[in-house]
């Protein structure tokens, strides 16, 4: 390799050395010769692919860039090309080794030759790509995303959400035409336990460009209706493993880590985990595995409920048995003591009845005596008055006799009325007229306020006596 000369000094044999002006073609030719002399062998270059396009002729055209330390502005840029005879093999080796497609946004370490065309200018021809470098960069990017989420304190938020006891209302993020989505629904519908699930699809791109934006939009729609669902399932069936780059972004990982519902991922790959697998609540391998996880969870909850029901039944039987024994024992004690209690109460009632009958008879006799005494006293007074009037009439003329007879007649009527009143006040006669005499022990009851609930009363009729007990609602104020 020859030594590169400064742009201010021309080679001795160049036209510029003789003071002649150069055409653009001549200048470009000189540049090509210089580059060829300086870079006459392939060399390894590290860069990021900013654009990649495969033309119909089979050639792959790229734009390679290197960003400044801020990561926002390109610090260098170059065109690249992979010829059609090289592209298929290079692409296959890279995808088999990394599980990723060569696409925009991927950093590569490429074996290149420096080319310069008088017409097309400066470009790099890619002869090979080192997969190890890309894998290292992808791993570094993944570690950086996880480190950032951990520093923000959100990396385990979704994992810490409790799974609801019943996972029946499922929001599904997937492509509507994906085979894995159909497998997921079929697995749920044909479960052997006849469990029922309600699913709603939120369509999203699951491969290629736009994965991040599409899934974020679907998650946003679910979050707006989060109270309608128990969990979210993100599934991707089939497709190339190389399409997983869209799942390894910070924005998508942060949204999943902080999502308010448990996330279950079944991206459909077994060898590697994406970043959203690492932050989701539960990661399974395939869409059918996600369906089986839901079925198993529901079955375990049913078994748990069945076990609780059996425990409740056993505890209830035990309690019923224990209380049944206690009730039987109390019943036996009550049955054994009841005859003696009834006998004592009957004896007490008989004694009270006899005492009440005796006292009622004595009371009636006393009333009769009082009535007889009143009648005798009234008759005696009337008799004395009549005798006095008879003596007076004997001393007066006949005119006074007529007045005396009228006076005697009037007093006779008054005496008869007093006799009738005395007979009407007779207690026995009052009882025959429908009235009763109520006794509490030896005490005559004349008011409802004089009795209390539970008190035993005896009621005297003209033809017999009735026993009764005061009920609580019979006592009136």
Return the C-alpha torsion angle 321, 324, 326, 331, nearest 10: -160
Q: For residue 334, report the phi and psi dihedrals to the nearest 5 degrees.
A: -65, -45
In whole angstroms, what is the distance from residue 190 CA to residue 471 CA?
A: 68
pLDDT at 452: 84
Q: What would you report as the CA-atom Rg of the chain, rounded to the nearest whole angstrom?
A: 60
By CB neighbour count within 10 A (0-12 exposed, 13-18 middle, 19+ buried), where does 273 fall?
middle
Q: What is the DSSP string of 379-411?
A: HHHHHHHHHHHHHHHHHS-HHHHHHHHHHHHHH
The pLDDT value recorded for residue 5 is 41
Residue 236, number of CB atoms within 10 A of its CB: 29
CA 460 to chain centre: 70
**Tens of pLDDT, residues 223-249:** 999 999 999 999 997 655 556 778 889
Residues β-bridged to residue 52: 62
pLDDT score recorded for residue 51: 93
Residue 146 contacts residue 155 (beta carbons within 8 Å): yes
CB 87 within 8 Å of CB 3: no
Position 360 scores a pLDDT of 75
pLDDT of residue 15: 53
CA distance 326 to 332: 10
- Among 3.40.640.10, 3.40.605.10, 3.30.750.24, 2.40.50.140, name the CATH number for the domain at 41-133: 2.40.50.140
Domain positions in the chain are 41-133, 151-302, 427-477
How high is the pLDDT of residue 62? 96
**CA 466, 469, 472 angle in degrees (round to 5)?**
145
Rounded to whole angstroms, the maximal C-alpha distance in the chain is 206
CB 411 within 8 A of CB 353: no
Phi, psi of 151 (to 5 degrees): -65, -35
Fold assignment, 151-302:
Rossmann fold (3.40.50)
Of the candidates 78, 67, 69, which has an alpha carbon nearest to the alpha carbon of residue 35? 78
Residue numbers of the chain with a pLDDT score lower than 50 = 1-9, 474-475, 477
Paired tokens of 253? 């990982």
Q: Are 227 and 332 in contact (CB under 8 A)?
A: no
Other beta carbons within 10 Å of 264: 25
460 backbone dihedrals φ, ψ, rounded to 5°: -95, 125
Task: Determine the Cα–Cα distance for residues 230 and 226; give it in Å rounded to an integer.
Answer: 8
Residue with tokens 């491969």: 207
Torsion of CA 197, 202, 203, 205, to 10 degrees: -110
pTM (predicted TM-score): 0.54
Q: Which pairing describes strands 74-82 and 107-117: parallel, antiparallel, or unpaired? A: unpaired
Distance CA 193, CA 131 (A): 47
Question: What's the pLDDT score for residue 271?
Answer: 61
pLDDT at res. 187: 95
Q: What is the pLDDT of residue 159?
A: 96
What is the pLDDT, as a whole number, of residue 18?
53
Please tell me the predicted confidence (pLDDT) of residue 8.
44
Cβ atoms of 46 and 107 within 8 Å: the answer is yes
Q: Could you give the 3-state DSSP secondary structure of residue 238?
A: coil
């Amino acid at each position: 390799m020859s030594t590169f000369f400064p742009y201010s000094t021309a080679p001795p044999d160049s036209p510029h050395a003789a003071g002649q002006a150069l055409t653009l073609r001549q200048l470009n030719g000189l540049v090509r010769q210089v580059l060829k002399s300086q870079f006459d062998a392939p060399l390894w270059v590290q860069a990021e692919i900013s654009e990649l396009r495969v033309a119909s002729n089979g050639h792959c055209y790229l734009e390679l860039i290197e960003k400044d330390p801020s990561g926002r502005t390109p610090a260098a840029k170059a065109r690249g090309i992979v010829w059609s005879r090289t592209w298929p093999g290079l692409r296959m080796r890279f995808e088999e080794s990394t599980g990723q497609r060569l696409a925009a946004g991927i950093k590569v370490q490429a074996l290149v030759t420096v080319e310069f065309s008088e017409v097309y200018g400066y470009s790099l021809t890619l002869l090979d790509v080192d997969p190890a470098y890309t894998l290292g960069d992808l791993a570094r990017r993944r570690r950086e995303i996880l480190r950032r989420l951990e520093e923000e304190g959100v990396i385990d938020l979704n994992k810490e959400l409790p799974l609801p006891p019943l996972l029946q209302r499922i929001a599904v993020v997937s492509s509507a035409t994906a085979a894995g989505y159909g497998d997921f629904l079929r697995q749920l519908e044909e479960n052997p336990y006849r469990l029922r699930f309600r699913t709603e699809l939120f369509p999203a791109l699951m491969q290629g460009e736009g994965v991040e934006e599409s899934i974020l939009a679907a998650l946003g729609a679910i979050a707006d209706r989060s109270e309608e669902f128990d969990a979210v399932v993100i599934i991707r069936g089939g497709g190339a493993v190389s399409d997983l780059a869209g799942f390894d972004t910070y924005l998508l990982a942060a949204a999943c880590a902080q999502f308010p519902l448990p996330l279950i991922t079944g991206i459909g790959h077994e060898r590697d985990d994406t970043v959203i697998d690492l932050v989701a609540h539960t990661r399974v391998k395939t869409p059918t595995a996600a369906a089986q996880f839901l079925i198993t969870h529901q079955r375990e909850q049913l078994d748990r409920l069945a076990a609780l029901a059996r425990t409740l039944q056993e505890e209830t039987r035990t309690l019923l048995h224990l209380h049944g024994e206690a009730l039987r024992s109390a019943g036996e004690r009550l049955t054994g003591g009841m005859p003696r209690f009834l006998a004592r109460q009957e004896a007490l009632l008989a004694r009270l009845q006899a005492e009440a009958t005796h006292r009622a008879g004595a009371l009636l006799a006393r009333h009769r005596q009082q009535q007889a005494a009143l009648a005798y006293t009234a008759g005696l007074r009337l008799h004395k008055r009549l005798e006095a009037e008879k003596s007076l009439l004997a001393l007066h003329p006949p005119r006074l006799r007529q007045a005396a007879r009228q006076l005697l007649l009037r007093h006779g009527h008054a005496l008869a009325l007093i006799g009738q009143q005395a007979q009407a006040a007779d207690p026995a006669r009052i009882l025959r007229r429908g009235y009763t005499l109520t006794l509490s022990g030896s005490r005559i009851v004349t008011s409802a306020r004089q009795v209390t609930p539970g008190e035993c009363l005896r009621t005297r009729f003209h033809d017999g006596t009735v026993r009764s007990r005061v009920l609580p609602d019979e006592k009136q104020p």
